[in-house]
Amino acid sequence: MEKLIITAAITGGASPEDNPYLPKTPREQAKAALEAYEAGASVVHIHARNPETGKGEQKAKWFEEAIVPIREKCNMIINVTTGGSGRRVDGDWLYKEIPEESVKGRISVIPELCKNPLARPDLASFNAGSPVIDIYNQKKKEFILKFVMVHSFPDMVYVAETMKGCGVKPELECYDIGMINNARVLGEMGHIEKPLYFQFVLGILGCIPANVDNLLHMIRSIPQESPWSVCAVGLDEFRMATMAILTGGHVRVGFEDNIYISKGVRAKSNAELVEKIVRLAKELDREIAAPDDARRILHLPPKPGN
């Protein structure tokens, strides 16, 4: 069994108001990534953050301000987001007045970042379909956000070809079983180079639930040679991670998906969540992958700038 790759998804689109420990600026993101690296993560997944507001904004300059300090300190694998694009609420476009939040706008950060060898990402998230996302507030007993991340097949071809032209490997985000088929078709058409790398996203309302049967079904549905990872919402993160450790997959943890280290207890850092995965892996006799191990497993070239 290969060594375990741990990805730290350090912020996502989470609200700064909801988590006092959330890295809110590029500098804080770099610090959180390096802490996660020291804890055992070999990959960091980054969403650009406006340093003045702390809120997510898809701009290359704020990615670069987070990535370069990481590159200067370690050989961690850099994974940037291109997801969350073309969102639609009740039939209208949520970001219709913001060109950089369109599908083409969000993927445009990849060629921009590749102009600087130290800022060039190794991986980028790739939504392999159009997940329906519902976020329900338990206290208020109401849906606080309902949207579709719209990615048509032509959108996916455009994103795939942009990444391929820049030498950036897609991390295929699959929120449901049908998205695996989309990814396989893109691979067969030659838009994505093999072996495909899958990230199973479980437990989001409107998408596939986080349970053992669903995870096993997704594992059986991908090409045999494909590496895969799993992330899940809330404390399901650790349950699905344990299954990945046992079955040869890899794991994503971090504040993007979950803010709790245990029931009712908030994690104080992304590194704390990584440390829990490391403990689980050691108990189950699975070695942790260093960045060089992860590059080999994921068929990535050496660290940019080397």
Q: Is residue 73 part of a domain?
A: yes
| pLDDT tens by residue, the chain, 306 residues | 999 999 999 998 777 777 889 999 999 999 999 999 999 999 999 999 888 888 888 899 999 999 999 999 999 999 999 976 555 555 555 555 555 667 888 899 999 999 999 999 999 999 999 887 766 566 666 666 666 777 889 999 999 999 999 999 999 999 999 999 999 999 999 999 999 999 999 998 888 999 999 999 999 999 999 999 999 999 999 999 999 999 999 999 999 999 999 999 999 999 999 999 999 999 999 999 999 999 999 999 887 655
- Residue 50 maps to which CATH number? 3.20.20.70
3-state secondary structure of 87: strand
pLDDT on residue 145: 61
Long-range contacts of 215-221 (CB under 8 A, 24+ apart): 215/240, 215/243, 215/244, 216/243, 216/247, 217/177, 218/174, 218/177, 218/180, 219/247, 219/249, 221/177, 221/180, 221/181
Q: Is residue 22 part of a domain?
A: yes
Q: Is residue 135 part of a domain?
A: no
Q: Is residue 209 part of a domain?
A: yes
Residue type, 277: I
Q: Is residue 143 part of a domain?
A: no
Q: Is residue 120 part of a domain?
A: yes
Tell me the pairing of strands 142-149 and 87-89: antiparallel
Domain count for the chain: 1
Torsion region of 209: left, alpha or beta (phi above 0 gives left; psi -120 to 50 gives alpha): beta
Q: Which domain holds residue 260?
A: 6-86+102-127+152-297
Q: pTM for the complete prediction?
A: 0.93
Q: Is residue 139 part of a domain?
A: no
Q: Is residue 1 part of a domain?
A: no
CA dihedral 115, 171, 161, 293 (to 10 degrees): 60
